Amino acid sequence: MNPKYKRVLVKLSGESLQSQKGRSVCKDASGHIAKNIQALVDLGVEVGIVIGGGNFFRGALAKEFNLKRTPADHIGMLATVMNGIFLSQALANRNISSAVMGSTSFGGIVEPFHLGKAGEYLAKQSVVIFVGGTGNPYFTTDSAAALRACEIDADILLKATKVDGVYDKDPKKYSDAKKYQTLTYNKALADALKVMDATAIALVREKEVPVFVFDLFEDNCLVKAVTTQTSGTIIS
């Protein structure tokens, strides 16, 4: 199969690494992700990844823990660094070259983001995992994914979820939920469909980067996302 895209940005939630038993990270989950990323690399696709930190902590929990939002978001940023390093090691177990680049170096634990260096890695078929969000509080990792997708000139942003696309309401709660095969950026914003936050949608709309929303746990999900797109929702 020939991929439709040369360079992609994959957005993964932190929860995608989590086990069903509630452990923060899971060998089977990380192995599934690494296997699917390897399939992309084998197709010759250049892969960037932005990963969240919700399996450890997310800034939106600030009120629940009576924390100020800025330090809460800083905790979330650090959680993405842990996930990025973990995912990098899962890729290494499959002999996939990767680099972890952060919004800062986080004390030398990861490389600081540099656009030129990221481009060099990608051109050499090395997966680049972007961590630390945008480096600023009040911005989600969806916004970070949109930002990095625009910066690295990704042909598409692949948004991994637990459902097979975008619905008008939660399909796990409502049997009559309607699935969208295609969506415009404007409708996604106007209807507040919550597939990505408004800042993220506005960013990809400005750069005209399409977004494909798909089920991460479907077999060969990433290969399908860059080839047949037989399931999922395309936003453009």
The per-residue pLDDT for range 85-143, each reduced to its tens digit, is 999 999 999 999 999 999 999 999 999 999 999 999 999 999 999 999 999 999 999 99
| pTM (global) more than 0.85 | yes
Which residue has tokens 């404007």?
A: 186
What pLDDT does 20 receive? Answer: 72
What pLDDT does 232 receive? Answer: 95
Please, are residues 48 and 7 in contact by the beta-carbon 8 Å criterion?
yes
Domain 7-235: which CATH number of 3.40.50.720, 3.20.20.70, 1.20.1250.20, 3.40.1160.10: 3.40.1160.10
What pLDDT does 61 receive? Answer: 82
Largest CA distance in the chain: 51
Distance, CA of 88 to CA of 81 (rounded, Å): 11
39-92 pLDDT, tens digit each? 999 999 999 999 999 999 877 788 889 999 999 999 999 999 999 999 999 999
| Segments making up each domain of the chain, as ranges | 7-235
